[in-house]
Amino acid sequence: MHNEQKVTDHIYWIGGNDFVSTRFENLIPISRGISYNSYFIDDEKTAVLDTVDSVIRDVFMDNVSHLLHGRQLDYIVINHMEPDHSGSLLALARAYPEAKIIATPQAQKMIGQYFHVTLKDRFLSTDEKLEISLGTHRLRFLKAPMVHWPEVTFTYEETEKVLFSADAFGTFGVLNGSVFADDVDYEEEYLPSFRKYYANIVARYGMQVQMALKKVEKLDIKYLCSLHGPVFRRKEDIAGITALYRKWASWEPEEQSVSIFFASPYGNTAMAAQILAGKLAAKGVKNLKLVDLCSSSITEAFPEVLRRSHMVLAAVTMNMGLNPVMNAVLDLCHEMDVQNRTIAIVGNSSWAPNVSGKLMMEKVQNWKKCTVLGEPVHISSAPADDDTLEKLAGLIADDIMKEKKA
C-alpha cells in the first residue's frame, strides 16, 4: 500500500497524515491532525530526505520501496532529529544498509542517543561546504541551528531549486489530497494552524529564525518543502510566508489590535473583559479577540499574543495568588521570550487587595521591549457601574491610534 505524490517530475512527497494523535508533542491540541512530510529524489542516485513519525511508518516504508523499484537507496538526509521525523530512521537505515546517512555531527550524536546502535561507518557529515551530486540533482546544506533544535539543517536542491526547510514554514493540519498550498484555500484551511505552529514551536527562536532567513533570502526557490503541511510553489506564496516569518521573528505584531485574555471562575472578570472589548470596539478598534484561558489550552491562546500589538490580562486572585491558568500563560510568554507588546492589566479579588493585578504586573515588567499602560485596574468581585473600564479602554484605544499614525 503506497501513497506518494509528485512535487516535480523527479521529486516525490512520501509522507503521510496523522489523524490519530490528539496532541502534538503530547501537548498542543491538533484537532485538524498533522502531516509528517518526507521526500524522495529519483535520479541516478536516490535519496530520502527525513523520515516520519512511527505512526505512519508502514506507508512511508512502502512509498520508499515502491519508488525504488528494486534499486538501491543511496542517501538518507537528516534535516531534523525530532522523533516525529526520525521515528522511522532506524527502520529505513536497516532496510537499506547500503544507504549513507547525511547528518550534522549533532544529529549523529542524537542518532546514537535515540537508537543506541552504531551507524557510524555510514555517516557523511553535513557542513555548508558539502555538495552531493545525485546525477542531475545537486544537494547543498545550510545550517539552521535552533530553528527548532540545534542539529537542524536546510537542504537546497540546486537543479530544480527546491528548499527542504525542516520544521520552518510548517503547519498543523493534514494534507487534503494535494500536496501543494496553491491547490487549497491556504488562508482558510491552514493560516491559523500555521500561526499556531510558529507560535508554539518556533517563536522562542526568533533570532535564529532571522539568521536562517538571511540564508534563505539568497536562494532562488521554486519549491519550498517543509516537514509539516503543504508545499509552496507560487512565488507570491513563498514571498508571503517568508514575510510572515520575518515579522514574527522580530516580534512585530501582525496588526494594531487587542487580544484580551481572561481567567474567571464565576464570570465576573469575564464580564469585565467583555465590557472592555465592547468599549474598545466602540472606539474603533478592529479585530479584537476575547480569549477565555480556562476553556482552552494555553497553546491555543499563545498565537493570539503573536498576532496583535496589545494584550489585556484579566484574572482573579486565587488563594492569595494569581489564577493558575493565567500564571501558566504568563510563564509560557516569558519562556517564549515575548517582546514588543503593550499590556494592560485587570485584577480581581473579593477580600484582599489587588493581588492578581500586582502579580501579573511583576511577571510582565521584565519582558523585553514591552510597555504596561498605567497601573493595574482593580475589580472588587464584579465590575461596578463606574468609569474604570471606560478609562482603560480610552488609554488602550489612544495608544493604538497613536501607533497607527506613527
Ligand X SMILES: Cc1cc2nc3c(=O)[nH]c(=O)nc-3n(C[C@H](O)[C@H](O)[C@H](O)COP(=O)(O)O)c2cc1C
Beta pairing class for 100-103 and 123-125: parallel
Q: Which is nearer to ligand X, 72 or 296 (CB)?
A: 296
Give the Cα separation of 340 and 327 in Å (integer). 20
Q: Give the list of residues 6+ apart from residue 312 with CB closer than 8 angstroms, or none.
A: 258, 259, 260, 261, 273, 276, 343, 344, 345, 346, 396
Place of cell 480581581: 348
Residues that bind ligand X (CB under 6 A): 264-269, 316-320, 348-352, 381
Give the shortest CB-351-to-ligand X separation in angstroms.
Answer: 4
Q: Which is nearer to ligand X, 34 or 276 (CB)?
A: 276
Q: Which is nearer to ligand X, 46 or 349 (CB)?
A: 349
Q: Which is nearer to ligand X, 97 or 267 (CB)?
A: 267
Q: Give the list of residues 6+ apart from residue 318 with CB closer than 8 angstroms, or none.
A: 265, 324, 356
Cβ-contact 79, 185 below 8 angstroms: no
Report the number of secondary-structure helices (H) and strands (E) in the chain.
13, 23
Give the shortest CB-327-to-ligand X separation in angstroms.
Answer: 13
Q: Which is nearer to ligand X, 193 or 349 (CB)?
A: 349
Q: Which is nearer to ligand X, 26 or 319 (CB)?
A: 319
Q: Which is nearer to ligand X, 175 or 392 (CB)?
A: 392
Give the Cα separation of 201 and 120 in Å (integer). 30
Give the Cα separation of 206 and 95 in Å (integer). 38
Q: Which is nearer to ligand X, 287 or 350 (CB)?
A: 350
DSSP string, 130-186: -EEE-SS-EEEEEE-TTSSSTT-EEEEETTTTEEE-TTTT--SB---S-SBGGGS-H
Give the shortest CB-182-to-ligand X separation in angstroms.
Answer: 46
Q: How far is CA 136 from CA 42, 44, 46, 74, 274, in A?
A: 10, 8, 11, 15, 61
Q: Give the list of residues 6+ apart from residue 238 with CB closer than 8 angstroms, or none.
A: 221, 224, 232
Q: Which is nearer to ligand X, 27 or 352 (CB)?
A: 352
Q: How far is CA 296 from CA 21, 28, 167, 299, in A?
A: 18, 11, 25, 8
Give the shortest CB-326-to-ligand X separation in angstroms.
Answer: 11
Beta pairing class for 75-77 and 34-36: unpaired
Backbone angles phi, psi at 89, to 5 degrees: -65, -45
Give the shortest CB-356-to-ligand X separation in angstroms.
Answer: 7
Give the shortest CB-394-to-ligand X separation in angstroms.
Answer: 23
Strand partners of residue 261: 291, 313
Give the shortest CB-265-to-ligand X separation in angstroms.
Answer: 4
Q: Which is nearer to ligand X, 51 or 269 (CB)?
A: 269
Give the shortest CB-382-to-ligand X separation in angstroms.
Answer: 7
Give the shortest CB-364-to-ligand X separation in angstroms.
Answer: 19
Q: Please report, as a single letter, which amino acid is at residue 87.
A: G
Give the shortest CB-264-to-ligand X separation in angstroms.
Answer: 3
Helix axes 268-282, 388-405, angle to 10 degrees: 40
